[in-house]
Structure 1
Amino acid sequence: MPMTMAQEEAEKYPIHRCIFQGSIKTLSSLIRTHDITEKDKQGNTPLHLAVMLGRKECVQLLLAHGAPVKVKNLAGWSPLAEAISYGDRQTISSLVRKLKQQTREQMEERRPNLVAALHQMGDFYMELKWDFQSWVPLVSRVLPSDICKIHKSGASIRMDTTLVDFNDMRWERGDISFIFNGDQKPGHSLTVLDNKAKLFQRVRHKETELEIEDEVDILMSSDIMAAQMSTKGITFSRAQTGWIFREDKREMVGAFHADFYQINGMVLESRKRREHLSEEDLQKNKAIMESLTKGSSQGFKNGEPPLRRASLNPPPESNITWDEYIVAPPGQCPLLGRNLVYKESSKSFKATVAMSPDFPLTVDMLLNVLEVITPFKHLSKLRQFVLMKLPPGFPVKIDIPILPTVTAKITFQEFAFRNDIDPELFQVPSDYFEDPMRDYDAYMIMMMVLHNASCV
């Protein structure tokens, strides 16, 4: 007797089905012969389902076999986001560890090509000017600006900046240099200098247990956020100038001729979930985040370990059957965990980009540089923008959204290929002291957690 369409659907995705049914024995068998990265109709991987349904043993087995953590379903959420919602601390901690491991492995896979590209690129000095603006009255008056100075020699890059962090209308000033030496081993390739205090630290390749647990506390204490610049509907049209006789806008940007384009259809989409937070959490949240984002780990006080956030009581057991789940239309996933507390917003931006055919660097070369120097959210946003299909030339002047209320105007105001870059720029000065207590590692972790919403 032929199967109905519903029965045919129910027979698909055997790994998803056995997780839904809670069969660790069946999963142990299927995991050897089936693709654990496969997505079902809702875009959920087996790891998504295991997390949302609270199948802890299935989660650990999938992670042991390399199930990807940084992957989103149709609703735009990763397994880590769903784990934060579910609230089991051990599961969140396991996913954070695996995410970091997978990120390191992916970076190491790309590293040889990146280093080779840097070697092939000419040595240069470059300046990026950042001017932050807001449509909110009076806010633009107090927003910061910065000039990033970048030296490149061989496979080494040095970036000097005074704008250390920028988040939710707060920023931190300093005099910081990041030095990347591509020919060094991974654990010794990145150094941070504090030029005011004359201190340095080698950024470790792996986080400590204390840093991991601090990060889990942050995730459990704060909103689950996702923000992205939507590029689906973006088009470019030539910017016009003149009151009566209109003509295409062309101007000099620094020493470079540039054609100006309007960017049409740029939208910043942001989504926020907080079903895992109590009213008390929301009151405490601001103070916790301000403390942690200063780059200071909670540490041990009076010899006592810090007070960690406990797991939440699990949500009620889902009464959705596999058959009901699998026949649900795409994008209408039945509720498997907590009732969502959800807010979504989008804002359209009017922006321009100036493209120069004269600029001596190519966009591909710029991406190679930015991949090395993007622990900061504003540089990461620039890299996302440059990945778009831009008009011909090099983007010497760009407007991009950084936050829903803040845009940045980036100008490549200086660039020169040079063969006289001082090699000492990529070394720690002899009068600097190592400061293992200054937690740049934790600081960079916090930044990545707080602004890199794609991780969650």
Structure 2
Amino acid sequence: MADEDEDYPLHESVFNGDIEKVNKLLETCDITKKDKHGNTALHLAVMLGQKELIELLVSHNAPVKSKNSEGWSTLAEAISYGDRDTITLLLQKLKQQSKEAMDDRRPQLINALSKMDDFYMELKWDFQSWVPLVSRMLPSDVCRIHKKGASLRLDTTLVDFNNMRWERGDISFLFTGQTSSGARPAHSLTVIDNTLRVYQRVRHEECDAELEDEVNIMMSSDIVSAQMSMKEITFARAQSGWIFRADKKEVVGKYSADFYCLNGLCIDSHKRREHLTAEDLIKNKQLVENLTKGSTSPSASGPEQLPRRSSLPPPAPPAVSWHEYISAPSGAPPLLARPRVMKHNTKTFRATVAMSEEFPLTVSMLLSVLEIIAPFKHFAKLRDFVQMKLPPGFPVKIDIPILPTVSAKITFQEFEFRPDLPDSLFTIPPHYIEDQYRFPDL
């Protein structure tokens, strides 16, 4: 059996801070390779605070999103270490790598959309809570989705959330997969305000101020790793009736559906806060309490100008050799960085789903649509849910928890194939004016 030290030459060189050797090894070594503890070379460089090596590995496209055996990404470890420049660098690289991954998937998505028959669909979603004041401020909406060729149009009435109130309007998202000539458009996603008759091209990069604000928030918040465990999930037919029990069936929209209870949905979360000050902990606790009570925070009357967070003093260098690190039991490495302050929580939820074998759309077709619209935050959880192994049919109604006190209900209430959708639905009206500041968060 080969010596463990020789299995990870890049990791060992990073551990020992040998920049010259790392530079040479990058010509032949797999930069994505994980050691026995699940750490990439970039993980080690971040935890050891080796800024030159971090920059070198990032310049060679080391994966930022990659997680180690404990579920922590390199960005999470950077937040714990507390060096602002490193956090900013990794956040920028993460966004770049995410965009590149989406660009790589784009031809496949365009192809999948093009092969589908054109359709119109109505999707109703609303968030609900057993806490009355929280329930009052949770949103609901009916999203109307048109699909023609490789283009999508999503119409919604929710615009923004300010002062604990949802701003309503008439908003459309246009995704253009390809032009009439088959070429990729310069701007594939556009947001339209039909009330003000303006539109905004969605940028694929953020300005420096937005990035700095995001870093501020990361440095003052818990580092969270949450995983949805699907190993123990089972589906059981839901029952109806008080005396004579029977399998629950209902008509959802136009479609007869069988209802199932989903048991064993487990969310395992870890929170780290070794990088937070006592003041941070108090502020974060107050924010959670305010949201739970349905009241506004002290800063809800206007946007708060976040102060620029300074880097933390670096933790003490680890008194551990490479051999001691790599010889430790698999998945249980010795501490290399700041001592952890961590909370672990496991919650089991029950969800319900209504499956209809009459619905014309298939789950795989839905996933292709959700892959495109999932960046709109409230669709990301739906995509994750649909990727599970569901009972036969199409999930026309889903009630799934997203927080301990909040659940999301999604209903596919109308669907029909429409071969005659006009092109005008997927183009910006000629009398609309471009306003690049209409939606500042995009």
Normalised to the residue count of structure 1, the TM-score between the two structures is 0.86
In structure 2, relative to structure 1, the CA distance for the partners of 1:203 and 1:142 (3 Å cut) is closer
- What's the counterpart of residue 158 of structure 2? 163
- What's the counterpart of residue 355 of structure 1? 355
Q: Secondary structure at the match of 1:188?
A: coil
- What's the counterpart of residue 404 of structure 1? 404
Contact 1:359 1:394 in 2 (8 A): yes
| Residue 170 of structure 1: how far off its partner (Å) | 5.3
Structure 2, unpaired ranges of 5+? 292-296
Separation of aligned partners in 2, 1:162 and 1:227 = 31
- What's the counterpart of residue 413 of structure 2? 413
Separation of aligned partners in 2, 1:162 and 1:293 = 23
In structure 2, relative to structure 1, the CA distance for the partners of 1:136 and 1:384 (3 Å cut) is same
1:193 aligns with 2:205: no
Separation of aligned partners in 2, 1:273 and 1:179 = 39
| Per-residue CA distance 1:399-427 (angstroms, 9 max, x = gap) | 11222321111110111111232322222
Separation of aligned partners in 2, 1:81 and 1:255 = 46
Separation of aligned partners in 2, 1:389 and 1:435 = 43
- What's the counterpart of residue 294 of structure 2? none
Contact 2:65 2:73 in 1 (8 A): yes
One-letter amino acid of the counterpart of residue 395, structure 1: P
Contact 1:124 1:153 in 2 (8 A): yes
Q: Secondary structure at the match of 1:430?
A: coil
Q: Tell me which of 65, 68, 90 is aligned to 1:95.
A: 90
Q: How does 1:141-180 map to 2 (within 5 A)?
A: 141-164=136-159, 172-175=166-169, 176-180=171-175
Q: How does 1:50-129 map to 2 (within 5 A)?
A: 50-129=45-124
| Residue 261 of structure 1: how far off its partner (Å) | 1.2
Q: Secondary structure at the match of 1:172?
A: strand
Q: Secondary structure at the match of 1:395?
A: strand
Contact 2:125 2:142 in 1 (8 A): yes
Contact 1:275 1:340 in 2 (8 A): yes
Contact 1:252 1:258 in 2 (8 A): yes
One-letter amino acid of the counterpart of residue 17, structure 1: E
Separation of aligned partners in 1, 2:103 and 2:299 = 28
Q: How does 1:166-315 map to 2 (within 5 A)?
A: 172-175=166-169, 176-183=171-178, 185=184, 187-282=186-281, 308-315=308-315
| Residue 439 of structure 1: how far off its partner (Å) | 4.6
After TM superposition, the structure 1 stretch with the greater mean CA deviation from structure 2, 185-194 or 119-128, is 185-194
One-letter amino acid of the counterpart of residue 98, structure 1: K
Contact 1:296 1:439 in 2 (8 A): no
Separation of aligned partners in 2, 1:78 and 1:275 = 16
Separation of aligned partners in 2, 1:44 and 1:198 = 50
Q: How does 1:21-32 map to 2 (within 5 A)?
A: 21-32=16-27
Normalised to the residue count of structure 2, the TM-score between the two structures is 0.89
In structure 2, relative to structure 1, the CA distance for the partners of 1:280 and 1:78 (3 Å cut) is same
In structure 2, relative to structure 1, the CA distance for the partners of 1:119 and 1:260 (3 Å cut) is same
Separation of aligned partners in 1, 2:108 and 2:270 = 35
| Per-residue CA distance 1:382-409 (angstroms, 9 max, x = gap) | 0000111111111001111222321111
One-letter amino acid of the counterpart of residue 278, structure 1: T
Separation of aligned partners in 1, 2:30 and 2:7 = 13
| Residue 292 of structure 1: how far off its partner (Å) | 11
Separation of aligned partners in 2, 1:171 and 1:138 = 12
| Residue 71 of structure 1: how far off its partner (Å) | 1.1
1:41 aligns with 2:36: yes
After TM superposition, the structure 1 stretch with the greater mean CA deviation from structure 2, 419-428 or 40-49, is 419-428
After TM superposition, the structure 1 stretch with the greater mean CA deviation from structure 2, 253-262 or 225-234, is 225-234
Q: Secondary structure at the match of 1:368?
A: helix
In structure 2, relative to structure 1, the CA distance for the partners of 1:296 and 1:38 (3 Å cut) is farther
> How many aligned residue pairs are there?
428
| Residue 244 of structure 1: how far off its partner (Å) | 4.5
In structure 2, relative to structure 1, the CA distance for the partners of 1:294 and 1:69 (3 Å cut) is farther
Separation of aligned partners in 2, 1:166 and 1:224 = 24
